[in-house]
Structure 1
Amino acid sequence: MITKNKIIKKNLDLLNEFMKYAFEHPEVLDKIPPEAELVILPTNDPDLCAVNKKMADSLVKKGKKVVVVELEKPKTVIPKIELLAV
């Protein structure tokens, strides 16, 4: 079971990746109406994808406009840090 905090963190990571893409390809934002809800479906995270699909369906049932974006979940970057002494 995926926790609410984990869902929020993963969705923030997805939004960050989408915004990086949007800065490089601003025309993609023209496809999203200002009043629409944006729901990102991570193609490589089935659990989060299912949660987000359920959320999108719920928003549609409430009469909201929903734009769905499929995006690969970002991989965790673990930098290697090394101190070079003189």
Structure 2
Amino acid sequence: ENYSIGLHSFAYESDGYIYLIITNPTKEQQQFLIESHASAKNISVKRYSEEGKEIALASTKNFLSGNERRYTLQPGQFCVAVITV
């Protein structure tokens, strides 16, 4: 069986915010970047387990630069990013 489908993402805008939902349906760890012109203080990211329990994110010191943020999702995990428009 090959489960290297990759990440799935969904986004919508409402009331001055963009909501970005990223899921990892694969059986492997996946990394991704969130690129945004918003500053770090205008982006909130929460990561959740397959069961829906919130998981702490790594330190923000792992950010690549002001516009690029790298995240890792383990199999079954998902995250929700809220970006102020």
Asked if TM exceeds 0.5, the reply is no
TM bucket, shorter chain: under 0.3
TM-score with structure 1 setting the length: 0.26
- With normalisation by structure 2, the TM-score equals 0.26
Greater fraction of residues in strand: 2
Structure with bigger helix share is 1
